[in-house]
Amino acid sequence: MPADTTAAVPRPPARTASAPVLTGAQAVVRSLELLGATDVFGIPGGAILPVYDPLMDASGIRHILVRHEQGAGHAAEGYASASGRVGVAIATSGPGATNLVTAIADAYMDSVPLLAITGQVFSTLMGTDAFQEADIVGITMPITKHSFLVKRPEDVPVALAAAYEIASTGRPGPVLVDITKDAQQAEAPFIWPPKIDLPGYRPVTKAHGKQIQAAARLLAHARKPVLYVGGGVIRSRASEELRRLAESTGAPVVTTLMARGAFPDSHRQHLGMPGMHGTVPAVLALQEADLIVALGARFDDRVTGKAALFAPGATIVHVDIDPAEISKIRVADVPIVGDLKDVLVDLDVAYRAVAETDAPEIEDWWAYLDGIREEFPLGFAPTSDGLLSPQYVIQRIGELTGPEAVYAAGVGQHQMWAAQFIKYERPNAWLNSGGAGTMGYAVPAAMGAKVAEPDRVVWAIDGDGCFQMTNQELATCVINNIPIKVAIINNSSLGMVRQWQTLFYNGRHSNTDLNTGHDTIRVPDFVKLADAYGCLALRVETAEDVDAAITTALETNDRPVVIDFVVSADAMVWPMVPQGVSNSYIQYARDHAPAFETED
């Protein structure tokens, strides 16, 4: 998704005598209302202050005052990922805007529809190193679908409408609108709806029929097909269409880290998550396939391992709405550009027509995969130090809460365990930072998801390292009555980094001990910290207390709940394909057989 290289605002239509005259700041609020925004996350500051005055009177927009702009960005991401709507974050100029950069980059990597609105210094001061000036348009150009700079009040409605259109269509992603303070303060006729003219922006949604037919024939003739499902299926809301195609073809399905829930875990054809920490059947199915149909996936290095050795015998059908992704890493034999919601319907119809006379023979393939599935069930070994198994904790959270909840994870070991040991049956139930791998994502993303889906239980599954980066948003949750549940998987370390140090650096654990939970001194004491924020705070150190704590959290809905689960630092994420090696690691898996055995 290459960024646009200009920041020009499409010109609004000619003024009319009947148009109300509004300040640029009033136009921001009115435009958001007319675009359907009902919730925004932000912090006021000098350069965006004019917008915050009319925002106070906007009855149709709920503003959530966060404690850090990064929290605003991640909350808007969580809001968008849970609901499918555009998330909105607002910040002031300079450090306010730059604090949004991490969340914008995160949204860009994971195709999240995000609108970032920032204030800018007076246009007459731009380029003078004025107080809190930063070229946020230039800074964000590589990590947005487009970045607008607005210097005139009459340009506000068209810029915001265009930003919404760009963020939510094609491959979704973040768009930034930077508005100078004089543009916010000056007046102009407010014309709605504005005429949007986006030259060169023409997302392709309908795929070419010949490519669809070619893919259908390959599916009918394949002996070892795999449907490789990426996050694009969720973003295009195509889970039902995927299920119909999978059941028509009988092909095994693997769902990437970003696609968990796009296809039900309970479905007979689902082999699990592929990649570095994927299930053995999912990894080997891709590696040994003769046909891979990639659906909204981008052949990420965490899936392919060493790309040159990935699936050497497979023909590739690659479907994506973003043509830049096709053949970027693995050359596609049949490239298909289009919206998956439409492509999957067309492909299913085409396949059924071909299969009437030429049905695939994949019984042997399934016999082989079922054998692998039986040999390597996903499980975990008991801990060596007697402390809680983090896998057990996360598994029980999922089992006691159920598939209708939303689970937002931070980044690290707990993220992978949450992807592995919670069963996902529906799209938009699993939120995480997949591409950027942003620590601190979970708590604000869960907060945003709860605002978007107030009737669902929302868990933030976080590590003790991640939690300390954005836990201040618990104050936001308490004050705004956003009762999320937070499970801190507290192994007193930067767990994933520690795991790599154990495996690849001779156990030299350099600067990964956080001192948060295993000794008599806890820095910080998470129970005291959460209590200070006004949350219900619990600590769990034994397996016997796990279920009671989770049940208490599920029964508490008048405030956030934080549970400090003190777990073993020695627990590892298995399976694991080391970085930069081939996915052909069946012997590697056998050598680590205890890691795949279910705990008694």
| Residue located via tokens 């097909």 | 225
Mean pLDDT in residue range 115-141: 98
Question: Which residue is catalytic, options 109, 148, 154, 181?
Answer: 181
Residue 588 lies in a domain: no
Domain boundary among 333, 350, 375: 375
Mean pLDDT in residue range 94-112: 98
Cis peptide before 575 (omega within 30 of 0): yes
Annotated active-site residue 416? The verdict is no
Q: Is the dihedral of CA 58, 450, 488, 259 positive or negative?
A: negative
Residue 262 lies in a domain: yes
To the nearest 10 degrees (0 to 180), the angle between helices 390-401 and 413-421 is 40
Split into its structural domains, the chain has a count of 3
Domain boundary among 325, 347, 375: 375
Helices (H) and strands (E) in the chain, counts: 24, 20
- 307 and 436 fall within a common domain: no
Annotated active-site residue 496? The verdict is yes
pLDDT in tens, 355-369: 988 778 999 999 999
Separation between Cα atoms, residue 129 and residue 508, nearest integer Å: 45
pLDDT the model gives residue 18: 84
Separation between Cα atoms, residue 322 and residue 470, nearest integer Å: 32
- 289 and 409 fall within a common domain: no
Non-local CB neighbours of 478 within 8 Å, separated by 6+ positions: 533, 534, 535, 559, 560
Question: Which residue is catalytic, options 273, 416, 439, 496?
Answer: 496
pLDDT in tens, 25-77: 999 999 999 999 999 999 999 999 999 999 999 999 999 999 999 999 999 99
* Contacts of the segment 331-339: beta carbons below 8 A, 24+ positions apart: 332/294, 333/218, 334/211, 334/214, 334/215, 334/218, 335/211, 336/207, 336/208, 336/211, 336/212, 336/215, 337/204, 337/207, 337/208, 338/204, 338/205, 338/206, 338/207, 338/208, 339/205, 339/206, 339/236, 339/238
Pairwise pLDDT comparison (521 vs 400), residue with the higher score: 400
Residue 45 lies in a domain: yes
| Residue located via tokens 């889906």 | 453
9 neighbors 148 (Cβ within 8 angstroms): yes
- 339 and 426 fall within a common domain: no
Res 575 pLDDT > 60? yes
Residue 11 lies in a domain: no
- 439 and 539 fall within a common domain: yes
Mean pLDDT in residue range 244-272: 98
- 227 and 312 fall within a common domain: yes
User: What pairs with residue 148 in β-bridges?
Assistant: 177
- 133 and 163 fall within a common domain: yes
Residue 425 lies in a domain: yes
Give residue 321's domain range.
Answer: 209-375
Q: Is 565 helix (H, G, I), strand (E, B) or coil?
A: strand
Rounded to the nearest 5 degrees, what angle is found at the Cα of 153, between the Cα atoms of 147 and 155?
A: 45
pLDDT the model gives residue 44: 98
CATH number, domain containing residue 543? 3.40.50.970
Q: What is the 3-state secondary structure (H, E, C) of 143-187?
A: HCCEEEEECCHHHHHHHHHHHHHHHHCCCCCEEEEEEEHHHHHCE
Residue 593 lies in a domain: no
CATH number, domain containing residue 254? 3.40.50.1220
- 428 and 484 fall within a common domain: yes
Of 243, 246, 252, 182, nearest to 223 by C-alpha is: 252
Percent of the chain with pLDDT over 90: 86
Annotated active-site residue 587? The verdict is no
150 neighbors 9 (Cβ within 8 angstroms): yes
Question: Which residue is catalytic, options 131, 504, 528, 599?
Answer: 131
pLDDT in tens, 141-174: 999 999 999 999 999 999 999 999 999 999 999 9
Annotated active-site residue 380? The verdict is no
- 413 and 511 fall within a common domain: yes
Question: Which residue is catalytic, options 1, 33, 132, 425?
Answer: 132
- 182 and 324 fall within a common domain: no
Residue 591 lies in a domain: no
Give the total residue count for the chain: 600
Q: Is the dihedral of CA 189, 191, 195, 198 positive or negative?
A: positive
Question: Which residue is catalytic, options 26, 41, 69, 467?
Answer: 69
pLDDT the model gives residue 291: 98
Mean pLDDT of the chain: 93
Q: Give the Å distances, CA to CA, from 272 to 253, 267, 302, 545.
A: 8, 10, 15, 30
pLDDT in tens, 316-348: 999 999 999 999 999 999 999 999 999 999 999
Separation between Cα atoms, residue 169 and residue 162, nearest integer Å: 11
pLDDT in tens, 404-462: 999 999 999 999 999 999 999 999 999 999 999 999 999 999 999 999 999 999 999 99
- 361 and 306 fall within a common domain: yes
Annotated active-site residue 190? The verdict is no
518 neighbors 371 (Cβ within 8 angstroms): no
pLDDT the model gives residue 593: 45
pLDDT the model gives residue 254: 98
- 360 and 396 fall within a common domain: no
pLDDT in tens, 495-526: 899 998 999 999 999 999 898 876 667 899 99
- 285 and 317 fall within a common domain: yes
